[in-house]
Amino acid sequence: MIFMAQVVWIFPKFDSIYIFYIVLMGLAAFIYIKIMNYLHHKQANVVNHWVEFQRYAIARKCNQVELNILHSFYDDLNAEEREVYLLPENRNKLKNALYRYFLKSNANTTEKEVNLFDKLFRSGVEFKKEILSLNDLTVGEVGALEADGREELTYVMQKTADELLLSAKGISKDLLVPGKEAKLYVFRPSSGGYLLDGSVLRTNESGLIFHFNGKIERKGESHLMLTDKISITVSPWPPPEQKKDLELDKNKLLLSEENIDKQLEVLKRIAKDQKENNEKRFDIKETAKPFITLSERLSDRGILFTFPSGISSEIWKHQDLWEVIFSFEKGPEFRIRSKMMPTKQKSDLYLLRYVDADEEMRKSLYEEIRKRGGVREVLT
């Protein structure tokens, strides 16, 4: 008889070193999870800080180019600065940090930087002021000293009736020459850019005295309008043949104040009509359709008009976007998508506000209006 060898199981000896390895692996896993959670939380905070910062800038009427500039500035800040500068009580810290950033950056034109400062930090009352004298400038106001075809950032430290003490920090030495003819560029969001004519009177290492000679000219972002009547053709957009391809799912549209107000208005009207048993008024008497009319005022941002006879003024409620087409005598034709809305002052005046006029088109339209004697825009 052959006896099979009996298998003997020998269990490994459990050494205390294994406990150390297990604890070490557990600790490593814990640290990894903590680090990943921290990075995720940090990234979320960065996104949230930028969203808040962007919301503030949009509320101050900053355009997309200016938002891009602010994003570059924001990326340059550390995490603590990003959080601190969002606080309303720290606007001066934000202003100083932005000024320092612009002094060391050559990525933007100085005029854009001045415009951005005004939009972000100008008070509500000052927002609408025009500049008629040095009285309309404020201490701390950021401007640009222009001379020899160059523009360099500065700010107002003190002022008199005809002189300004400007910061010389960051200004090239060859511009700090007594007697040099110069202009100071300043900006107001409601009326655009201004050039104050003058000269450099005296300088030292920290400041210069700018003597104002009394002459002010407009420059840059002011908006002009024509009061001459121009024939405009207004059509629902997109046209019927493109509507299906370009129509958004209405169930997914984001609610805006405008949409909510429109819905409330319709609901109030229906409730009133139901109370008066006036069922016929639920019928839409007029659908959106093309029409031709004359402009009352035409600017590089929008058009004021009245509806022609036979066209119900209610159609603006039933169409989101419109295409307006017009041309000038011996000038180009313009085709611009717009939003239509009533004005606040007169019930028979309606506004077509451009939504897709790019900078090149706006400048071309501005120039055509300027050549025809345009005046400062008033659309409301």
Q: Against a cut of 0.75, is the pTM above it?
A: no
Percent of the chain with pLDDT over 70: 72
Q: Which of the two residues, 284 and 39, has the higher pLDDT score?
A: 39
Cβ contact 223:377 at 8 Å: yes
Percent of the chain with pLDDT over 90: 24
Distance CA 219, CA 222 (A): 7
Q: Which of 257, 104, 134, 268 is nearest to 194 (CA)?
A: 134
Q: Which residue has the tokens 């897709």?
A: 356
What's the pLDDT at 280? 52
What's the pLDDT at 126? 64
Instruction: Identify the three-state secondary structure at position 63.
Output: coil
Q: Which of 125, 51, 52, 142 is nearest to 88 (CA)?
A: 52
Q: Please compute, for residue 328, the number of CA atoms within 13 A of its CA located in the half-sphere on the CB side.
A: 16
Distance CA 165, CA 156 (A): 6
Q: Which of the two residues, 9 and 218, has the higher pLDDT score?
A: 218
Structural domains of the chain, ranges and CATH numbers in brackets: 49-121 (no CATH), 134-220 (2.30.110.70), 226-236+286-378 (2.40.10.220)
Q: What is the DSSP string of 283-304?
A: S-------EEEEEEEEESSEEE
Distance CA 366, CA 31 (A): 61
Buried b (16+ CB within 10 A) or exposed e, 274-300: eeeeeeeeeeeeeebeebebebbbbbb
What's the pLDDT at 326? 96
In the predicted structure, residue 44 carries a pLDDT above the cut 50: no
Q: Which of the two residues, 29 and 362, has the higher pLDDT score?
A: 362
Q: Which residue has the tokens 């609408």?
A: 128
What's the chain's average pLDDT?
79
What's the pLDDT at 290? 92
Distance CA 148, CA 151 (A): 8
Residues 2-24: pLDDT tens digits? 555 555 555 555 566 656 666 67
Residues 276-322: pLDDT tens digits? 665 555 454 567 889 999 999 999 889 999 999 988 888 888 888 89
The model's confidence at residue 334, banded by pLDDT at 50, 70 and 90, is very high
Helices (H), the chain: 16-59, 64-75, 79-85, 91-104, 110-121, 124-127, 240-246, 257-275, 359-371
Instruction: Identify the three-state secondary structure at position 145.
Output: strand
C-alpha distances in angstroms, 10 versus 4, 7, 13, 191?
Answer: 18, 10, 9, 92
What's the pLDDT at 352? 92
In the predicted structure, residue 332 carries a pLDDT above the cut 60: yes
Q: Looking at the DSSP assignment, which residues form a beta bridge with residue 150? A: 147
Residues 77-95: pLDDT tens digits? 888 888 788 777 788 888 8
What's the pLDDT at 46? 45
Q: Which of 363, 375, 62, 374 is nearest to 220 (CA)?
A: 363
